[in-house]
Amino acid sequence: MTASTGTGGAAAKPEPTPTATTRPFWNGLRDRKVMLQYSPSTDAWVFYPRVLAPGSLTDDLQWREASGAGHVYSYTVTRRPTAAPWAADVPQIIAVVELAEGPRLTTELVNVSDDAVKVGMVVRPVFCDSKTGGPTLLRFEPAAGPADSQEERP
Amino acid sequence: MAYAGSAAIAGFSEWKPEQRSRAEARYFTTEQWALLSRQALDDAGIAPGLVDGIATAGFPETSMMAPATVTEYLGIEVGFAEYVDLGGATSAGMIWRAAAAIDLGLANVVLCTVPGTPIPELASRTEGGRTYLGSLSDAVGSPQAEFEIPFGNVGQNAAYALIAQRYGATYGYDPAALAKIAVDQRFSAQANPAAIFCGKPLTVADVLASPMIAEPLHMLEIVMRCSGGASVVVARADIAASGPNRPVAIKGFGEGVAHRTPSYARDMTVTTMGRAADCAFRMAGLRREEVDMVSVYDCYTITVLLTLEDAGFCKKGEGQAFVTEHDLTYRGDFPCNTHGGQLSFGQPGIAGGMSHVCDAVRQLMGRAGAGQVQGAEVAFVAGTGGLMSEQVALVLAAQ
């Protein structure tokens, strides 16, 4: 894990380090695609990326492009920073999004006021490029939001 | 089930929690291990020379071989040297492993010791480290480093808040019901001089007026880290019976672990406590209705709610009505966390989990003083580790 200085002069925010197994996911985000693994034998989409399908340990994982559509499975609005690097982000909306294909992932909701978020809210991806050369992060915004907000603007 | 029920808790020691910032960093982990263990053996009336098993967690002074570090320091040779790594469920996990080892004939007297007081120079050593990570690993290759930490989902609060929010969206959320858990436990803490919040009663209004930390969790629904530590002596039942205390039989136990981060739980509102508790009650041959008190891990109020539901004391989704309708205090109809819970007793690191074992043992031995549950014969203890992700259940009974 590398650390870079985030926006707003906050403390360094840790950035992910792609691995040989996970790199297609990160490359996908860079190219504005949500790439997930899929296991044909179990008809299950997989997140996070693995070398074998979770549960069955089947060796049949293949990369496919997912729709990117999803809904808010749960969320929390932080009123205190979870840690120093996120001090400038309060209130931060940390969320778990369930993708249309099934897998859930941890993310952050952007372009939405914290009192408008609801569990079940339909969301779409926001591809957030790093300002310091790190991997693009996958955040989400309400699907009913402005149609032109495919870039991060928090 | 092959467990013959041949192990019992013979005695224990527990250090009074103090605010961590005020605690004197005098003793290293091995030193605390020795001091706590000696006190517990004295309490059990068992000679140190009889100890032939230990269970320990990892500790900062060694990155590996913690059990051998402990046996060498104590100057003992054992036939059972266990390392338990289940976060807040570590303590309860030690108890059943000790019981199983005794049952299998590997040992006769097992020390389960969990130091929880800051060690010398700990502060300076972790100054530059990422202590904010909580139970997450930031090592390259760890899924948390790649998929959790970049979003600020660090520490414990956000994850438990996500669980609580999902619970509320599924079953409805009654903030006053959750607050009542903390309030009832605080009432019991008034009868426990060792509790850090003894002398400081609390109302539901106080809890709901305390600052929001991560919605829907208020500050007074979140455990406060303290210093402390505990040791429990698990022994062959006949050895336990030779001491001064009424032995507490380890009747049944169970465990459940599925994930580390709740985002990947099959259902964020359902814990693996279900299988753990089912296993424990089946092994014990006892029913939920026969339990006289419970001591369940309470890093947050939502932890208690989910544990009571999943352990089968009420139906899924009915926990809020259950805690509202029942008096959870030591003099109530469903005594829960009579030492105050960690919310009011304090959380001395992972030794916080042992405080629930000690709470139940104190009650079953009839040593709870002003907070004694009258006629307590059977207790249920739950340990929760990580982010609601590691579960251990124990069923204990007075001999």
**Residue (of B331, B355, B341) closest to B221 by Cα position:** B341
Position A145 confidence tier, pLDDT thresholds 50, 70, 90 = low
Contacts for B83 with CB less than 8 Å, ≥ 6 apart: B55, B56, B57, B58, B66, B67
What are the Cα distances from residue B29, in Å, to A62, A144, B98? 48, 55, 21
What are the Cα distances from residue B79, in Å, to A105, B68, B109, B232, B377? 44, 12, 10, 18, 32
pLDDT value, residue B20: 87
Residues B158-214: tens digit of each pLDDT: 999 999 999 999 999 999 999 999 999 999 999 999 999 999 999 999 999 999 999
pLDDT averaged over every residue in chain B: 95
Residue B67 lies in a domain: yes
Q: Is the per-residue pLDDT at A152 higher than 70? A: no
Q: Is the per-residue pLDDT at A1 higher than 50? A: no
- Identify whether the C-beta of residue B192 lies closer than 8 Å to the C-beta of residue B340: yes
CB contact under 8 Å between B143 and A75, yes or no, is: no
Q: Is the per-residue pLDDT at A10 higher than 70? A: no
Number of domains making up chain B: 1
Mean pLDDT, residues A134-148 taken together = 84
pLDDT value, residue B136: 86
pLDDT value, residue B320: 98
Q: Is B133 in CB contact (< 8 Å) with chain A?
A: yes
CB contact under 8 Å between B152 and A79, yes or no, is: no
C-alpha–C-alpha distance, residues A137 and A6, integer Å: 13
Q: Which domain holds residue B322?
A: 7-121+222-398
Place of tokens 């197994």: A21
pLDDT value, residue B14: 98
pLDDT value, residue B24: 87
pLDDT value, residue B9: 98
CATH of the domain at B56: 3.40.47.10
| Phi and psi at residue B85, to the nearest 5° | -130, 70
Residues B338-357: tens digit of each pLDDT: 999 999 999 999 999 999 99
- Structure token digits, residue B378: 């059977």
Chain B environment of A94 (Cβ under 8 Å): 151-153, 158, 161-162, 214
If you count residue pairs, one on A and one on B, with CB atoms under 8 Å apart, how many are there? 120
Residues B354-378: tens digit of each pLDDT: 999 999 999 999 999 999 999 999 9
Chain A environment of B387 (Cβ under 8 Å): none
Chain A environment of B162 (Cβ under 8 Å): 74-76, 94-96
Chain B environment of A86 (Cβ under 8 Å): 152
Residues A18-33: tens digit of each pLDDT: 999 999 999 999 999 9
Residue B307 lies in a domain: yes
Position A9 confidence tier, pLDDT thresholds 50, 70, 90 = very low
C-alpha–C-alpha distance, residues B173 and B176, integer Å: 9
C-alpha–C-alpha distance, residues B363 and B369, integer Å: 9
CB contact under 8 Å between A104 and B133, yes or no, is: no
**Residue (of B214, B215, B162, B151) closest to A110 by Cα position:** B151
- Identify whether the C-beta of residue B373 lies closer than 8 Å to the C-beta of residue B191: no
Chain A environment of B211 (Cβ under 8 Å): 79-80
Residues A65-115: tens digit of each pLDDT: 999 999 999 999 999 999 999 999 999 999 999 999 999 999 999 999 999
Q: Is the per-residue pLDDT at A7 higher than 80? A: no
CB contact under 8 Å between B132 and A96, yes or no, is: no
C-alpha–C-alpha distance, residues A107 and B287, integer Å: 42
Q: Is the per-residue pLDDT at B313 higher than 70? A: yes
Q: Is the per-residue pLDDT at A147 higher than 60? A: no
pLDDT averaged over every residue in chain A: 90
Position B262 confidence tier, pLDDT thresholds 50, 70, 90 = very high
Task: Give the torsion sign (CA, B235, B238, B243, B245).
Answer: positive
C-alpha–C-alpha distance, residues A86 and A6, integer Å: 9
Contacts for B131 with CB less than 8 Å, ≥ 6 apart: none
Domain boundaries, chain A: 14-142
Write out the DSSP string of A76-95: EEBSS-SSGGGGGGPSPEEE
The greatest distance separating any two alpha carbons of chain B, rounded to the nearest whole angstrom, comes to 56
- Identify whether the C-beta of residue B174 lies closer than 8 Å to the C-beta of residue B318: no
CA distance B142 to chain A (A): 9
C-alpha–C-alpha distance, residues B53 and B252, integer Å: 20
Residues B118-173: tens digit of each pLDDT: 999 755 455 345 567 777 888 999 999 999 999 999 999 999 999 999 999 999 99
CB contact under 8 Å between A107 and B151, yes or no, is: yes
Lowest mean pLDDT among B20-29, B30-39, B318-327: B20-29
% of chain B residues with pLDDT over 70: 97
Q: Is the per-residue pLDDT at B294 higher than 80? A: yes
CB contact under 8 Å between A80 and B215, yes or no, is: no
In terms of pLDDT, which residue wins out, B335 or A146?
B335
CA distance A18 to chain B (A): 7
- Structure token digits, residue B320: 């809020």
pLDDT value, residue B125: 53
Segment 241-300 of chain B within 8 Å of chain A by CB: 261-264, 268
Position B63 confidence tier, pLDDT thresholds 50, 70, 90 = confident
Provide the ipTM: 0.92
C-alpha–C-alpha distance, residues A37 and A120, integer Å: 24
From the number of C-beta atoms within 10 Å of its C-beta (0-12, 13-18, 19+), residue A151 rates as: exposed
DSSP label at residue B236: E
Mean pLDDT, residues B91-101 taken together = 98
Q: Is B150 in CB contact (< 8 Å) with chain A?
A: yes
C-alpha–C-alpha distance, residues B236 and B109, integer Å: 7
pLDDT value, residue B1: 52
pLDDT value, residue B121: 76
C-alpha atoms less than 13 angstroms from C-alpha of B95 in its C-beta half-sphere: 39
- Identify whether the C-beta of residue A105 lies closer than 8 Å to the C-beta of residue B147: yes
C-alpha–C-alpha distance, residues B83 and B61, integer Å: 15
- Structure token digits, residue B177: 């019901």
Position A153 confidence tier, pLDDT thresholds 50, 70, 90 = very low
Contacts for B289 with CB less than 8 Å, ≥ 6 apart: none
Residue B296 lies in a domain: yes
- Identify whether the C-beta of residue B263 lies closer than 8 Å to the C-beta of residue B323: no
pLDDT value, residue B22: 86
Question: Edge-to-edge strands of the sheet including A70-77?
Answer: A104-108, A93-99, A70-77, A122-128, A137-142
pLDDT value, residue B127: 39
CA distance B84 to chain A (A): 25
C-alpha–C-alpha distance, residues B253 and B97, integer Å: 9
Residue B236 lies in a domain: yes
